[in-house]
Amino acid sequence: MKAFTFRLQTVLEQRRLVEEQRREDLARLSTEANGVKEEIRTLDEEMRRTRRERQQQVVNGDLKRARLAEDYLHALTHRRREREQRLASLVDQVTDARHALLAARRDHKAVESLHDRDRAIYQTELRRQEQKDLDEIASRRHG
């Protein structure tokens, strides 16, 4: 009996590659989102530090430095808003990428199930043929 060949092997491989690509896309977006979250945390800490310094400058009567700190706070706030917008966009992209991965995984599994079913049928037929051959050999010896 000839070796097992799956009639949809190229489809199976293509679906596997699509799933792998979707997994990589999700990982890349998740990593980027985590980086933006870290940037926001860093900006928050810098804003807290700058507020404390500004307050200290006001207490010390150094209004020029207090004004500079205030301007810096505005710039940090603007940067934080930009990062929040980017994070919101990334969260949407991560959700879409997660759905795309699930769909790709489902498509891959469907063809993989066909492969497994066809292989099981092939192996059953192979065993049947082997038993038939063994029975024929035994009947020649005893016949």
Note the pLDDT of residue 143: 63
- Residue 2 inside a domain? The answer is no
pTM of the model: 0.79
**Counted domains in the chain:** 1
Report residue 81 as tokens. Answer: 């808003």
Tell me the pLDDT tens digit for each residue of 32-86. Answer: 999 999 999 999 999 999 999 999 999 999 999 999 999 999 999 999 999 999 9
Least trusted range by pLDDT, from 1-5, 85-89, 116-120, 121-125: 1-5
Q: Is a pLDDT exceeding 80 seen at residue 31?
A: yes
CATH number, domain of 58, equals 1.10.287
If one compares 39 and 2, the residue with the highest pLDDT of the two is 39
Note the pLDDT of residue 134: 87
Domain that holds residue 63: 9-142
- Residue 100 inside a domain? The answer is yes
Note the pLDDT of residue 60: 92
Averaged pLDDT of the chain: 95
- Residue 72 inside a domain? The answer is yes
- Residue 117 inside a domain? The answer is yes
- Residue 74 inside a domain? The answer is yes
